Amino acid sequence: MDLHDDQHPSQPGCPRAAHSCMRIIIAPLIFIALTGCSSGHPKLQERIAFWRNTLAKDVPVGTNAENIRAWGTAHHVKFDYLEQQQWLYANVAKIPEKGIHFPCSEWNIILKITIDSAGRSVKTDVSSVGSCI
């Protein structure tokens, strides 16, 4: 079988441009599907709001890393330090997905606190990450 220059070798009859186009279309669709799953989960949104409010109240910007770790210990939050990124990072909750557990079975709530060179927080962030296929 002869392949033309514009055909993908692993997919006979599939032009390279079409194969690349499929990747460009499919990747954003998967991202949108996974993001959409988390935004519609009321329990997840409730817990994210709880942790954002808790950090704003208990760990304001300017708190030193030692006090943040002490706060974490008192609240059963185990922070890891990612030195290269200068983040204190913790997975504080797992929220199971309701119904069919596809593509994600649960959502993890992540706290991320950015620390400056003086050892003080400069930014806090609460996000969710799915445990997905």
What pLDDT was estimated at residue 32?
47
Q: Which pLDDT score, from 0 to 100, does residue 17 have?
A: 54
pLDDT in tens, 60-74: 999 999 999 999 999
Neighbours of 121 (CB within 10 A): 20
Distance CA 47, CA 62 (A): 24
The domains of the chain are located at 1-39, 40-132
